[in-house]
Amino acid sequence: MDKLNFLTAGVPLKAGAKGYAEGFKILDDMKLDGLELEFVRGVRISDKSREVVSATNKVITAHAPFYVNLNAREDDKVEASIQRIIETAETTNEIGGYSITFHAAYYLGMEQEPVYQQVRKTIEIITNELKKTNNKIWIRPETTGKATQWGDLAEIVRLSKEFETVLPCVDFSHLHARYNGISNTYSEFAKIFETIGNELGQIALDNFHAHIAGIDYGAKGEKKHLNLEESDMNYKDLLKAFKDFNIKGAIVCESPNIEDDAKLMKEYYLSL
């Protein structure tokens, strides 16, 4: 990546039911840089939509289906989760995408280390399968918003060190909620970038994938997304840290008003 790009999580809301073609026009009008495909219930995209997305010059990322748990107790659920991630990577790569992300696993009452080893084993299966077709799209476990979910920053950085095509997707709102309100100051944001740079190298800072939204949270972590200005998410200091560390890649806005908050962030970032 040659700059920091601002994306919406899905087709802009103003497009209504008109789909990707209208969505890309809205992104152009708002001077936004792309969108994240939301494969919520399955990796499905029509031939027409695939053609439109493939032809765009916008940055495209994708979120794998939510029905993923690489640490499920049932073998068939683990296998289905593996296949959903592979299908997301294959489809996104075919249409010229940059990166995919997913919520990797739940602890299910287990200790951290055996869950890490299980996630590692399944990621190895996924990356080996993608290598067969020379698919080098970034595979990114996302930092998660509840302590019951696998995926704090340290775990994902550790995993990323083991695989050439694996890097973190840092959901800053999830980290803020996961720890019930911390991870929301300039120094904390800077520490995240320093950790990633020191552990994973400049390539990780030049090919970043982040999620940002306002967020409602409590003692058990994430409750729901909010618009930025209706939350305590310190997005201005976060964007200052992005600027100071010269981060390149994609910020995906997951606020309920996806395109308006994406524009809010981009305009503030460009003003710095």
Q: What is the CATH number of the domain that holds 235?
A: 3.20.20.150
Q: Kindly give, in sequence order, each residue whose CB lies less than 8 Å from that of residue 79, ignoring residues fewer than 6 positions away.
A: none
pLDDT value of residue 81: 98
pLDDT at 165: 98
Q: How far apart are CA 260 and CA 13, in angstroms?
A: 9
> Residue 205 belongs to what domain range?
4-271
The pLDDT score that the predictor gives to residue 123 is 98
Q: Name 99's Cβ contacts closer than 8 Å, sequence gap at least 6.
A: 61, 62, 92, 137, 138, 140, 167, 169, 207, 209, 249, 250
Q: Taking a C-beta distance cutoff of 8 angstroms, is the pair 1, 206 a contact?
A: yes
What residue ranges of the chain have pLDDT lower than 70? Answer: none
How many domains would you assign to the chain? 1
**Quick one: how many helices (H) and strands (E) in the chain?**
10, 12
Closest of 165, 74, 67 to residue 124, by C-alpha:
165
